[in-house]
Amino acid sequence: LEALRRSSPVPVSLEPMSTEMDGYFSRNQQRIAVREGMSEVQTVSAVIHEIAHIKLHNYEKAAEREGKEPEKEKDRHTEEVEAESISYAVCQYYGIETGGNSFGYIASWSQGKELPELRASLEVINKTAGNLIQDIDRNFRVVYILERSDYVLLHPQYVVRFHLLHL
């Protein structure tokens, strides 16, 4: 979970919430909240789903970063299909099985969508999932080194491991 937290552009917290939902991204507060007490698989899947929303559907912040006008917002159905598809793809990459939940969720949100809309989303899903996997892998390596080193000096381009000598 720490590698996911580091991959998220906003803070991630586990909180009590209704069993009707697994989590949410608050645009106003710029944070992710995920329901505490879920299985590890559900928690990871929900965090990735919400990170996907931030990466793709945080229109105002993306426009600020790029110095552009905000993109036209996508409809909620498209946003949910994209976020859950990215979560599914990323989880599959790491061998985490979420198909039982993801397929039904994607099917329910994609009802009534036309083929050109779904095709456009597939390009976005593929690119975003690939970028998120790279980011998670990089952050996992950092977490792995931090947990196994006596002392670590971090620099933006590299991580160096030092062992302190105990005399």
Say which residue, 164 or 55, is predicted with more confidence.
55
Is 60 exceeded by the pLDDT of residue 28? Answer: yes
Is 70 exceeded by the pLDDT of residue 41? Answer: yes
Residue appearing with tokens 């939940």: 101
Distance CA 131, CA 137 (A): 10
In this structure, are residues 89 and 17 in contact, taking their beta carbons and an 8 Å threshold? no
pLDDT of residue 18: 95
Q: What's the chain's average pLDDT?
A: 84
Residue appearing with tokens 């990323």: 90
Distance CA 134, CA 142 (A): 13
Say which residue, 72 or 21, is predicted with more confidence.
21
pLDDT of residue 89: 96
Count CA atoms closer than 13 A to 99's CA, side-chain side.
Answer: 4
Closest alpha carbon to 50 in 70, 20, 30, 69: 30
- Which tokens hold the place of 147? 């947990």
- Backbone angles phi and psi of 161, in degrees to 5: -105, 130
Phi-psi bin for 82: left (phi > 0), alpha (psi -120 to 50), beta? alpha
Say which residue, 136 or 62, is predicted with more confidence.
136
**In this structure, what is the dihedral angle of CA atoms 18, 74, 60, 9, given to the nearest 10 degrees?**
50
Strands 31-35 and 12-15 come out as parallel
Say which residue, 106 or 59, is predicted with more confidence.
106
Which pTM was predicted? Answer: 0.82
The per-residue pLDDT for range 146-165, each reduced to its tens digit, is 776 655 555 544 544 444 43
The per-residue pLDDT for range 103-160, each reduced to its tens digit, is 889 989 988 878 778 888 899 999 999 999 999 999 898 887 777 665 555 554 454 4
Please report the sign of the dihedral spanned by the C-alpha atoms of residue 113, residue 123, residue 3, residue 62: negative
Residue 59: pLDDT band by 50, 70, 90 thresholds? confident
Count CA atoms closer than 13 A to 17's CA, side-chain side.
Answer: 14
